[in-house]
Amino acid sequence: MKLEYLDKYNVVDYRTLRAVGMTHEAISSAVNCCMLRLTRGIYSIVRACNLKKHRSASVLIMDEDWVEYFRSTTVASREGDHRFSEHIARLGIVHYRHFRADDAVSGVSAAILHELPLFKAELGRIVVTNPTAYSSSPEIIRRKRQYSAEDVCTVHGVRTLTSVRTGLDLIAEKGPADGMAALEGGLRAQVERESGDARIGMHDPRRMHAVGREIVARDFVPAAMRLRRGRKRALRILTIVSPLSENYAESRTSFALHQMGLHDFTQQWNVGRDGSLLARLDFLHRPTNTVLAFDGGQKYADFGGERLKHEGHQQNELLNMGFRIVHLQFGDVTNLKQFEMKVFGQAPQLLEFRGKPTLQ
């Protein structure tokens, strides 16, 4: 869900709630009943409550779609949806009122603002960088670090480090795999913006890759050169980032392949049959016709048996055409040893193409 307007999601402050007649005690009891607490003194009204002491907040509801979202979903489904958790964290950052003049939102908090792909993100306190001050509170972690004016931008009215600098910082903070995923997510969005084509990755992935590499050379490498620490590792990772990764799992797979020394897999390869598109392959090793395919269990749960039937037909056609398919689960690509055993175990022909790992 996109955070397009700051007046959406029924966000109100403490003084506004008091102005419509709610007492301090009523506001406190409304949290996790009909309101969510986003940050100090800032709340989101999620339903019109029938409790007398909460009822007056209903006059502040302007975003009925937000209320309908809560009406049509369960607590369990929302708690299990990382996109919802990140959205609530994003609202808290956007509406936080106690930033200092030189603060720049950074780290995971900046990644949330930029909507970069994250895995098991810590969504508690807001993280900011400040060149002259450091502090810590239940709401914010302020790190004392220098940054360049070229690495600062504004997102939803909040001063933050750019998506490029954020991805580079996450290499050190969360590890090179997570940093690469963030960099690739930001790169993909930038290619779509600059090309003016939100579907460029679907109909012209080769051009998308070429434009992405131009942007890396123009914007990403200079940002890495401004790093005070971790510059060499960042530059190595920038040699392999691609805008073709569509999600965290694909970025993580690409990272693992380069760790294994397999550098010639092609991403997003369209396979035709009888003049029409048969399949879109996330990863293809063209010299050996080896395909890496993620297990579709979640897709089948989301879309039902027809999806399973369709992908079963797809797989049979690919096998008939001479492709070798290695089936992966997400856990495979987060464990390099396990990933190596599965890939080389099922596709030993790849061993002769193994080169020097990008990162040891």
Look at 37-46, 194-203, 312-321, 349-358 and tell me which has the smallest mean pLDDT. 312-321
* pLDDT for res 311: 59
Is the Cβ–Cβ distance between 233 and 359 less than 8 Å?
yes
Is the Cβ–Cβ distance between 289 and 323 less than 8 Å?
yes
Residues contacting residue 349 through CB under 8 Å, at least 6 positions apart: 288, 290, 324
Is the Cβ–Cβ distance between 37 and 27 less than 8 Å?
no
Considering 40-49, 266-275, 288-297, the range whose residues carry the highest mean pLDDT is 40-49
The rounded percent of the chain whose pLDDT value lies above 90 is: 79
- pLDDT (mean) for 90-109: 96
Q: Strand 290-294 to strand 324-328: parallel, antiparallel, or no bridges (unpaired)?
A: parallel
More confident call, 270 vs 301: 270
* pLDDT for res 298: 39
Look at 115-129, 147-161, 275-289, 338-352 and tell me which has the smallest mean pLDDT. 275-289
Consecutive H or E run containing 310:
helix 305-320
Q: What is the SS3 assignment for 224?
A: helix
Helices and strands counted in the chain (H then E): 17, 13
Q: Is the pLDDT of residue 299 over 50?
A: no
Kindly report the average pLDDT of the chain as a whole number.
90
Q: Is the pLDDT of residue 25 over 50?
A: yes
- pLDDT (mean) for 142-167: 96
Q: Is the pLDDT of residue 148 over 90?
A: yes
Q: Considering only CA atoms, which of 140, 96, 93 is closest in space to residue 114?
A: 93
Query: Is residue 286 exposed (0-12), middle (13-18) or buried (19+ Cβ within 10 Å)?
Result: exposed
What domains does the chain contain, in order, with CATH numbers?
11-80 (no CATH), 98-237 (no CATH), 247-353 (3.40.960.10)
More confident call, 214 vs 317: 214
DSSP character for 10?
Answer: T
Residue showing tokens 């790190």 = 143
CA 239 to chain centre: 21
- pLDDT (mean) for 145-157: 95
What are 230-276's pLDDT values in tens digits? Answer: 999 999 999 999 999 999 999 999 999 999 999 999 999 888 776 66
Tokens of 226: 């401004």
* pLDDT for res 158: 95
* pLDDT for res 307: 44
Q: Considering only CA atoms, which of 114, 344, 358, 326 is closest in space to residue 241?
A: 358
The CA R_g of the chain, rounded to the nearest whole Å, is 23
| Distance separating alpha carbons of residues 317 and 44, to the nearest angstrom | 50
| Distance separating alpha carbons of residues 162 and 165, to the nearest angstrom | 5
* pLDDT for res 208: 96
Is the Cβ–Cβ distance between 167 and 234 less than 8 Å?
no
* pLDDT for res 353: 95
CA 117 to chain centre: 1
Q: Is the pLDDT of residue 196 over 90?
A: yes
Q: Indicate the pLDDT class of residue 224, thresholds 50, 70 and 90.
A: very high
Is the Cβ–Cβ distance between 171 and 237 less than 8 Å?
yes
- pLDDT (mean) for 25-47: 95
Q: Considering only CA atoms, which of 142, 150, 148 is closest in space to residue 126?
A: 142
- pLDDT (mean) for 176-200: 96
Q: What is the SS3 assignment for 187?
A: helix
* pLDDT for res 322: 86
